[in-house]
């Protein structure tokens, strides 16, 4: 009887432990599912800092209940986010670890190739990118990755040949500006001039190099998935010695040019305060933070009354970034032109940024 009691007690104790372990497993699975949904949402909203954070947490907390493929996918998300944040050196070990888990993971191979290319490891980049092409496009996703890999391979050829000396020099009196800049036309009647040897990414993610032989680039016929909201153009120098970029986006607005022209000093002040508050809340989602609100104003550009905001945000590896955004409000369409440069390099890029802004045409 005493033996039976002891056996029963052991069985009950084991059952309670199993029940507790089962409950913990269910709780962890629910937590991991929530993290997975947040990763999917972050990709959809292009919140790359948030994607990196959620995917890292997923790897730490869910590795014991996830398959090798699942962990590889999470590592792939981290690598993707880091590449989109232009943290290329950080992306390399993550993408490499992903490939150890899943050697044929095209997304990790692609982002490894991009990161290697941007950090001047061109030969290694070729191998990784060629592997993406060799695996092939066996579904919609991998087919798109193959296309990007082919584009990046072309960029490898350019970046391995273009030296820092071929970047545009600061404008000086007497310099022929027509030889330093290339006219670029994009959707909604927007035209702008960008420096030669810059790389341009259109709304279809196609990449273009503004080489010396290119007289102009016309992207006005390139369609967007969402005609009311999206990125029309992103451009930056081909080489990475100095950081600079320009982006042009389209969104919706209730304001018209006439409304902007009629804004009082108080109206402009209120708009500036709301913009600053939005940045303080929104920048952390992309892995950054507002360092300094420099100012805001109304200014006529291209014959249109525009609203301009300038600020300094944190950047990669402790290097702050100056940002200036020019907004063209023409309800229901808002065109925003954003220029960015690293702190300490303003004297190099200010003449270029000034030329770019002055060249803007919006019909």
Helix, coil or strand: residue 91:
helix
For the ranges 51-60, 150-159, 184-193, the lowest mean pLDDT is seen at 150-159
pLDDT(165) > 50: no
pLDDT(34) > 70: yes
pLDDT(340) > 80: yes
pLDDT(81) > 50: yes
Could you tell me the pLDDT band of residue 100, with boundaries at 50, 70 and 90?
A: very high
pLDDT(176) > 80: no
Could you tell me the pLDDT band of residue 56, with boundaries at 50, 70 and 90?
A: very high
pLDDT of residue 139: 83
Dump pLDDT digits (tens) for 224-278: 666 667 888 888 887 656 678 898 988 899 999 999 999 999 999 999 999 999 9
Torsion of CA 56, 58, 63, 67, to 10 degrees: -110
pLDDT of residue 292: 94
Domain 165-362 top-level CATH class: alpha beta
d(CA 79, CA 232): 24
pLDDT of residue 210: 75
Give the mean pLDDT of the chain.
81
pLDDT(166) > 90: no
R_g over Cα of the chain: 25
> Of 49-53, 153-157, 324-328, which has the strongest mean pLDDT?
324-328
pLDDT of residue 20: 43
Q: What is the mean pLDDT of residues 300-325?
A: 89
User: Whole-prediction pTM value?
Assistant: 0.61
pLDDT of residue 304: 93
pLDDT of residue 44: 78
The CA–CA distances, whole Å, from 244 to 141, 145, 323, 339, 356 equal 30, 26, 10, 8, 12
pLDDT of residue 175: 52
Check if the beta carbon of residue 316 is closer than 8 Å to that of residue 48: no
pLDDT of residue 55: 92
Domain ranges of the chain: 2-159, 165-362
Question: ∠5-11-15 over CA atoms, to 5°?
Answer: 145
Name the burial class of residue 216, with classes exposed (0-12), middle (13-18) and buried (19+) by CB atoms within 10 angstroms of its CB.
Answer: exposed
**First-to-last CA distance in the chain?**
94
Q: What is the mean pLDDT of residues 179-193?
A: 88
pLDDT of residue 237: 81
Q: Which of residues 203 and 343 earns the better pLDDT score?
A: 343
Q: What is the mean pLDDT of residues 289-316?
A: 92
CATH architecture designation of domain 2-159: Alpha Horseshoe (1.25)
pLDDT of residue 351: 85
Supply the DSSP string of 269-295, one letter for each residue: HHHHHHHHHHHHHHGGGGT--EEEEEE
pLDDT of residue 220: 81
The closest of 317, 360, 363, 314 to 340, measured between CA atoms, is 314
Could you tell me the pLDDT band of residue 337, with boundaries at 50, 70 and 90?
A: very high
> Of 42-46, 235-239, 257-261, 314-318, which has the strongest mean pLDDT?
257-261
Q: What is the mean pLDDT of residues 185-189?
A: 88
Check if the beta carbon of residue 263 is closer than 8 Å to that of residue 356: no
The residues, ordered by sequence, that sit 6+ positions from 291 with a Cβ below 8 Å of its Cβ are 311, 312, 313, 314, 320
Check if the beta carbon of residue 280 is closer than 8 Å to that of residue 290: yes
**% of the chain surpassing 70 pLDDT:** 81
């Amino acid at each position: 009887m005493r033996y039976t009691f002891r056996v029963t007690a052991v069985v009950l104790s084991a059952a309670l432990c199993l029940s507790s372990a089962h409950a913990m497993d269910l709780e962890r699975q629910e937590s991991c599912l929530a993290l997975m949904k947040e990763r999917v949402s972050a990709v959809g909203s292009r919140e790359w800092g948030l994607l990196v954070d959620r995917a890292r947490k997923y790897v730490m907390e869910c590795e014991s209940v996830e398959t090798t493929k699942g962990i590889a996918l999470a590592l792939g998300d981290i690598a993707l986010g880091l590449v989109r944040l232009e943290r290329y050196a950080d992306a390399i070990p993550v993408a490499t670890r992903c490939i150890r888990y899943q050697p044929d993971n095209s997304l990790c191979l692609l982002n490894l190739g991009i990161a290697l290319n941007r950090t001047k490891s061109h030969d290694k980049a070729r191998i990784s990118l060629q592997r993406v092409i060799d695996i092939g496009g066996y579904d919609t996703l991998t087919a798109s990755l193959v296309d990007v890999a082919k584009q990046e391979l072309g960029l490898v050829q350019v970046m391995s040949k273009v030296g820092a000396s071929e970047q545009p020099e600061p404008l000086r009196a007497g310099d022929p500006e027509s030889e330093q800049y290339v006219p670029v036309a994009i959707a909604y009647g927007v035209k702008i001039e960008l420096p030669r040897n810059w790389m341009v990414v259109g709304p279809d993610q196609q990449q273009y190099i503004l080489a010396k032989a290119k007289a102009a680039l016309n992207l006005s016929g390139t369609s967007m998935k969402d005609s009311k909201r999206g990125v029309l153009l992103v451009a930056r120098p081909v080489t990475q010695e100095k950081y600079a970029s320009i982006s042009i986006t389209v969104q919706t607005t209730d304001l018209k040019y006439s409304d902007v022209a009629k804004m009082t000093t108080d109206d402009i002040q209120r708009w500036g305060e709301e913009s600053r508050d939005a940045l303080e809340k929104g920048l952390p989602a992309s892995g950054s933070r507002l360092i300094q609100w420099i100012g805001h104003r109304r200014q006529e550009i291209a014959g249109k009354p525009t609203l301009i905001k300038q600020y300094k945000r944190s950047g990669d590896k402790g290097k702050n970034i100056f940002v200036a955004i020019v907004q063209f409000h023409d309800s229901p369409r808002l065109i925003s032109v954003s220029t960015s440069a690293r702190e300490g390099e303003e004297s190099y890029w200010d003449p270029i940024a000034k030329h770019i802004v002055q060249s803007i045409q919006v019909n």
